[in-house]
Structure 1
Amino acid sequence: MTLPIPRSPQSSEIQHVLARIKDRILPQSIVSIDIGIRNLAWVELSKDGEILRWAVEDLLVPSPSSTPSDAPQTPFQAEEEKERTESVGPSSLKKSRGRVGAGSNTKQQRVKKSKVSTPSYDPQAVALRVDKVMRTIMQGSPSVQGIILERQRFRSGGMHTMLDSTFKCGVVEGMIHTWFAFWQHEQQQLQQREWMVGAMVDEEKGKRKESVFIESVPPKAVAVRWGIGASGAKAAASSRKKKQALLLYATATDIKENDTTSEAIEGESIFNDSISPARSPKSLTYRHKKVQSKAIVDSWIYPNSSRDGQVDIVAASVAPELSPTSSLPSNFRVRCSPEMREWYSQEQKRDDLSDCLLQAVAWFEWKGRAVQEAVERSMPRLGSVGGNEEAALQPILRKRRSSRKPPSPLAE
Structure 2
Amino acid sequence: MSSKLLASLKLAQLKHAAFLTGLPSAGTKADIIAVLESNIPTRTPIATGSRIVSVDMGIRNLAYCVLDVPKAPLPHANPPKPSPLKVLEWKRIDLLHPSAIESQKPPTSSDTQVKPSTKKPAPISPSAFTPSHLSHTALSLSRTLLSHSPTTILIERQRFRSGGGPAIQEWTVRVNMLEAMLWACLATLRETSSLERKGAGARAGPGQGEFPAVFEVLPARVAGFWVGEPGVSLRLTAETFISGRVEPAASASAPSGRKRVQKKDKVAVVRSWLDENKGKGKGNGNGNGNGNGNGNSHPDISLAFSGEAAKVAKAFAAPNGRSSSSRGTIEEGSVEEESEERMGKRDDLADCLLQGVAWTRWEENRDLLAQLLRS
**Smaller-chain TM-score range?**
0.5 to 0.7
- Correspondence for 1:44: 66
Change in CA separation of 1:38 and 1:205 when aligned onto 2, cut-off 3 Å = closer
Q: 1:136 aligns with which of 118, 129, 144?
A: 144
Equivalent residue, structure 2, for 1:333: 302
Following TM superposition, the consecutive aligned residue runs of length 4 or more in structure 1 with deviations greater than 4 angstroms are: 113-116, 204-210, 300-303, 316-320
Looking at structure 2, the residues matched to 42 and 338 of structure 1 have their Cα atoms a distance apart, in angstroms, of 15
Aligned 8 A contact 1:294 1:350 in 2: no
Unaligned runs of 5+ in 2: 1-43, 71-84, 100-118, 233-254, 316-341
Amino acid at match of 1:335: A
Matched residue type, 1:158: G
Structure 1 residue 322: Cα displacement: 5.2
Q: 2:259 aligns with which of 253, 266, 281?
A: 281
State the shift of 1:114 in Å. 8.4
Shift of 1:225: 0.9
CA shift for structure 1 position 307 = 7.3
Q: Highest CA radius of gyration, 1 or 2?
A: 1
Residue 364 of structure 1: which of 355, 360, 366 is its match?
A: 360
8 Å Cα contact 1:303-1:311 kept in structure 2: no
1:167 corresponds to which residue? 173
How far the C-alpha of 1:337 sits from its partner, in A, is: 2.0
Q: Percent identity?
A: 25
Structure 1: which 5+ runs fail to align? 1-21, 64-112, 240-275, 326-331, 380-412
The residue that corresponds to 1:292 in the other structure is 268
Corresponding position: 1:35 with 2:57: yes
Matched letter for residue 183 of structure 1: L
Partner of 1:212: 212
Structure 1 residues 158, 319: CA separation in 2 closer, same or farther (over 3 Å shift)? Answer: closer
- Residues of 2 paired with 1:115 and 1:338: CA distance? 27
Q: Classify the secondary structure of the residue corresponding to 1:174.
A: helix
Instruction: Tell me if the contact between 1:38 and 1:60 (Cα under 8 Å) persists in the aligned partners.
Output: yes
Whether the 8 Å CA contact 2:286–2:306 is kept in 1: the answer is: no
For 1:221 and 1:337, locate their aligned partners in 2 and report how far apart those are by CA, in whole Å: 28
What SS does the aligned partner of 1:186 have?
helix
C-alpha offsets along residues 324-373 of structure 1, whole Å, 9 cap, x if unaligned? 76xxxxxx731112643224416222221111000000011001101111
Which residue does 1:353 correspond to in 2? 349
2:288 corresponds, among 296, 304, 312, to: 312
Matched, 1:125 2:133: yes
The TM-score normalised by the length of structure 2 is: 0.56
**Inter-partner Cα distance in structure 1 for 2:172 and 2:49:** 31
Indicate conservation of the 8 Å contact 2:57/2:63, yes or no.
yes
Q: 1:81-120 maps to which residues of 2 (within 5 A)?
A: 117-120=123-126
Output the CA distance in 1 between the equivalents of 2:98 and 2:67: 28
Give, in angstroms, the shift of residue 115 of structure 1. 10
CA distance in 2 between counterparts of 1:216 and 1:341 reads 27
User: Under a length normalisation based on structure 1, what TM-score does the superposition of the two structures give?
Assistant: 0.52
Are the counterparts in 1 of residues 153 and 213 from structure 2 also a CA contact under 8 Å? yes
1:373 matched residue in structure 2: 369
Q: Which residue of 2 aligns with 1:150?
A: 156
Please report how far the alpha carbon of residue 303 of structure 1 lies from its aligned counterpart in structure 2 after TM superposition: 4.9
Structure with larger RCO (C-alpha < 8 A, sep 6+): 2
Q: What's the CA shift for 1:148?
A: 0.4
Report if the CA contact (8 A) 2:87-2:304 is conserved: yes
- How far the C-alpha of 1:301 sits from its partner, in A, is 6.4
Compute the displacement of 1:51 (Å): 0.6
Alpha-carbon distance in 2 for matches of 1:115, 1:28: 37
Q: Distance in 2 between matches of 1:357 and 1:206?
A: 24
| Structure (1 or 2) with the greater helix fraction | 1
* Correspondence for 1:251: none
Aligned to 2:97: 61
Deviation at 1:296, TM superposition (A): 3.7
Deviation of 1:376 (Å): 1.4
Report the Cα distance in structure 2 between the residues aligned to 1:55 and 1:165, rounded to whole angstroms: 21
Q: Deviation of residue 294 (structure 1)?
A: 4.9
| Cα displacement string for residues 58-109 of structure 1 (whole angstroms, at most 9, x for unaligned residues) | 122289xxxxxxxxxxxxxxxxxxxxxxxxxxxxxxxxxxxxxxxxxxxxxx
Give the number of aligned pairs.
248
Q: In the alignment, what sits opposite 2:324? A: none
Q: Which whole-Å CA distance do the structure 2 matches of 1:302 and 1:136 have between them?
A: 32
Aligned partners of 2:269 and 2:293 also within 8 Å: no
Cα offset for 1:54?
Answer: 1.9
In structure 2, C-alpha distance between the alignment counterparts of 1:130 and 1:207, rounded to whole Å: 24
RMSD: 3.7
Is the alpha carbon distance of 1:294 and 1:127 closer, same or farther for their aligned partners in structure 2, counting shifts above 3 Å? farther
Counterpart residue number, 2:296: 321
